[in-house]
Structures are given as C-alpha cells and as structure tokens.
Amino acid sequence: YRAATDIQGLAAAVAADMLRLSGFDRAVVLRLGPPRGQTAPIVVAAAGTGPLPAPGAPFMGAVIGAEARAALELNRVRLIADAPAAPVGIEPPLNPLTGLSPDTGRTGLRAPLEKVTRALETEGARALMTISLMTAGRLWGVIWCDGTRPLRPAPALRAICEAVGENAAAQIAALEEREQAARRMGATRTLARLAAALRDGDDIAGILADHAADLGELFSPDGWQVTVDGVLRSGGIPLSRGLGDVYKRQVLEEVPPAPRLQAQPPAPPPALPPAVIPAVVQADGIVHVTAPGVGAVLRIDVPLGGHLLIARGAARPWSPADLETAVDLHRILADRHAELYRARTERQLHRLA
C-alpha cells in the first residue's frame, strides 16, 4: 500500500485484496463525512462480481448516524453470517450475578438490525462483514464486504482482514497528511502572489477581482463578492435564493460578538425551511456561516474598509484548511488596507498643513 500515490488508488488495492482474502462476492471501500448528524457514506472504490457502485456515489442510500458511528468505532470488525437466519438468544438471558442483561456492545458476530437486513435484501446479499478504518482516532470510513450466500470467516481470517484495515487506515492518514502539506504549500504561494499584487496598487477590490483565479485556487468558490472603500466587485455563479437569504441575514448584517470559535445559533431566516438553522462562527477576522442543505458563506473582514464574501453550495462546507487560509488572507488585507489608510491620512494632513 505504500506505493499508492492517492487515496483512490489505495482504496482500489484494498478492495481487491479484501475480495481475495474474505471470500465475499463484493468489497467496497466507503468514506464517511464529518460526524455531524446523519452521514451518507460515499463509495471510494469497489471490486467484485455483478454490478458495482460507481466511485463518488452515495452507497445504497444508506446513512450513518451517531449510534452506528459509535458502534463501528467500538467494533473494528463486525460480521453478519446469514442475515435471514433467526437470531440465537443468549443463555442465560440475564447475568446471574447482577441480574442484568449482558453487555453485547463488543460482540463481533451479531444479528443484523432491521434496516441492515432490508439493505442486504435490496442488494440480494445474505452475509456482511465490515472493517472500520480509523485515522487519528476518528472513523474515516468502512470496508464493506457482502455476499449472496451465508459465510462465516474463521476468527484467524477476520483478524487478518482487521490487520489489512489497520494498514490501509495508516496509509490513508499518511496520504491525507501529504495532501494537506501540498495544499498548504500551494496556498502559501498563492497568498504570497496576492500580497505582492496588493502592494503594487491601491484598489484592493479591483486587484482581488483581477486575481479571481487565485481566489479560485484558495477556496474553489461557487461565487464571490468583495466590497472595499465603496468599490464593489463580484464573480462566479449568483447565489441561490436560500443561500442569498442566509448571506444577507447572517453575514452582511452585523453579527453579535461571540466567543472565539464558539458557534452562536441565530434565528432561522424566514425564507429558509424551518429545519434549517444557520450556524455562525467568528474567529480572527472571519465569519463563516453554514446552513445545512443550503450552502456556506465565508466573510473575510477588511477592517474599516469592507469585506470579501466567498460562497459555496450545500455539498461543500468549509474545511479547517480553508479557514486557516481565510485568516491568513484577512491579515494580508488588513495590513495592506491599514497602510493605504495611513498614506491617505498623511496626504490629507499635509494638505491641511
């Protein structure tokens, strides 16, 4: 796995190895999103017989909630040998010493939940084994192996599959760290280019508009708008009505002071569905707003001058790397605007003198 240059290639190799090792008919590597409510697993790679899910597509319409995520983190290998079979009860059903039901939280061989049984029936499968992929103490994803016949891999084979998952997870962490380092280096070069351009002119809004490609490299926005000293520039796709309402109500208006990096729940805008409550977070000269299912807006302040707004659609929230880049850009814009403000003030004082 160390020869893999990206996560897609690594996942393809892992899926092929799990298919050969496990004896199941299909192996799929799934990636989970951040642990916020219900998460739809996304297919990274698949191997096996019959129709296979396409990479990048949601898997079987499934969602992973907090309870399922906790179970997958606790039990790294879970096996359902024959989903339609009647479950076998535990004897005795109560612990004779405590009088309580035994804790089955760490049980690896178990009866399936009803929704899992329905999902397997939809796929024409009877047996299932999952191997959790843990990186940096969090559940990154799952290796899903299913088959059309009952299958009960021996404990030694399950241990080998678990070891494959651990090796794959370690390599995923290394690849992600490498990708993050490359992104940081790219962002540093782009920010340096923007800073040099800003030093050569005094129209901050115009310079940012001329360097829209650099904003694209930094944030990959769907739309952006900059207002500095009364000069307005914009680009990209106009915002949807719902995201526009979030943008006007929660970003363009004054946001009440909040503790650093603490979410402040505002009242939902009238134009949004009742269930959509934007989360507003302030930190180091930036404000970012996320409205579930609607989109995300990032405001980068230019003190005493205006702001730069960056907007994305619902499927692309802000990552920690995006927010770090936004803070760096805020400092560059703040320093340059302060220089221009001092220069204008000095010229006015000279004229008055």
Summarize the confidence of residues 5-11 as an average pLDDT: 91
What's the confidence (pLDDT) of residue 120?
80
Tens-place pLDDT, residues 153-190: 999 999 999 999 999 999 999 998 998 898 899 999 99
What's the confidence (pLDDT) of residue 187?
93
Give the whole-angstrom CA distance, residue 286 versus residue 215: 16
Nearest to 244 by CA among 286, 264, 208, 272: 272
Q: In the 3-class helix/strand/coil scheme, how is the chain assigned residue by residue?
A: CCCCCCHHHHHHHHHHHHHHHHCCCEEEEEECCCCCCCECCEEEEEEECCCCCCCCCECCCCCECHHHHHHHHHCCEEEECCCCCCCCCCCCCCCCCCCCCCCCCCCCECCCCHHHHHHHHHHCCCEEEEEEEEECCEEEEEEEEEECCCCCCCHHHHHHHHHHHHHHHHHHHHHHHHHHHHHHHHHHHHHHHHHHHHHCCCCHHHHHHHCHHHHHHHHCCCEEEEEECCEEEEEECCCCHHHHHHHHHHHHCCCCCCCCCCCECCCCCCCCCCCCCCEEEEECCEEEEEECCCEEEEEEEECCCEEEEEEEECCCCCCHHHHHHHHHHHHHHHHHHHHHHHHHHHHHHHHHC
The phi, psi pair for 43, rounded to 5°, reads -70, 130
What's the confidence (pLDDT) of residue 328?
92
What's the confidence (pLDDT) of residue 319?
79
Among the residue ranges 224-233, 248-257, 279-288, the one predicted with the least confidence is 248-257
pLDDT band at 304; cut points 50, 70, 90? confident
The pLDDT of residue 242 is above 60: no
Is the preceding peptide bond at 41 cis, omega within 30 degrees of 0? no
Q: Is 110 left (phi over 0), alpha (psi -120 to 50) or beta?
A: beta
Nearest to 25 by CA among 95, 122, 124, 115: 124
The pLDDT of residue 314 is above 50: yes
Provide the residue type at 40 as one letter.
Answer: A
Name the residue with higher pLDDT: 68 or 269. 68
Contacts of 321 by beta carbon, 8 Å cutoff, 6+ apart: 180, 183, 184, 187
